[in-house]
Chain A
Amino acid sequence: GAVVSQHPSWVICKSGTSVKIECRSLDFQATTMFWYRQFPKQSLMLMATSNEGSKATYEQGVEKDKFLINHASLTLSTLTVTSAHPEDSSFYICSASPRQDNQPQHFGDGTRLSIL
């Protein structure tokens, strides 16, 4: 089946640093990738939709200057949390969708981000 690789799986860093998370589709071309955030005991909340070769579309309330998304190729999207603070600590999950609309999304294993 389709595989999405997310890296790193876990990161701890000091407040004020920037953290980059990678999401790769390993065996299919992903026109669209999605980034979600999940707080403990809560469901996934969509942060932004990333389309290859164009600017990401952010959901209401998500700061685009805080969460930088780059989708430079059909197999890679990156999320950079800039100047991270403790309130940014969360579980971040990406998903990728093949070219066709309304096809199932395939999810990465997530990144646990802890800001000290």
Chain B
Amino acid sequence: KQEVTQIPAALSVPEGENLVLNCSFTDSAIYNLQWFRQDPGKGLTSLLLIQSSQREQTSGRLNASLDKSSGRSTLYIAASQPGDSATYLCAASGGGNKLTFGTGTQLKVEL
């Protein structure tokens, strides 16, 4: 059974700082790995999707990497802004397009 863990559970940084969020998964037989953002009381916004054959994906200030062999993915956020404050979730996609979500990292970017 796939298990996905995210570290740290919570993170507070000053505006402008670069930061890294970590995601680890136990079963390397995944089709893809996705990173999502969730604002309080809201649904999910997809940020980046990395196919199992890819090593990384970039979108604006976000860069996500994937190392299947070690069961790890990272989300790098450059020049953080207060608007980046949210909970970030990673999810590993297995058979049948089922997603197993991580525990989330609650990010706060302070002025």
Contact = CB atoms under 8 A, between A and B. Distances in A.
Interface string B30-69: 0110101000011111100100000000000000000000
Interface of A: 6, 32, 34, 42-46, 49, 91, 93, 95, 97, 101-110, 112
Contacts of B81: none
B73 to A, nearest CB: 15
Contacts of B96: 32, 49
Contacts of B45: 107
Given A46-B99, A105-B97, 7 more contacts: A43-B89, A44-B89, A44-B101, A95-B99, A105-B46, A107-B46, A112-B41
B62 to A, nearest CB: 15
A43 B42 contact: no
Nearest to B9: A41
Contact-residue bracket for chain B: 20 to 34
Contacts of A45: 101
Contacts of B89: 43-44
Contacts of B34: 104
Contacts of A32: 96-97
B1 to A, nearest CB: 10
B44 A102 contact: no
A102 B91 CA distance: 13
11 contacts: A42-B103, A44-B44, A45-B101, A95-B44, A95-B99, A97-B97, A103-B97, A104-B34, A104-B49, A107-B46, A109-B42
A109 B97 contact: no
A107 B44 contact: yes
Nearest to A51: B96
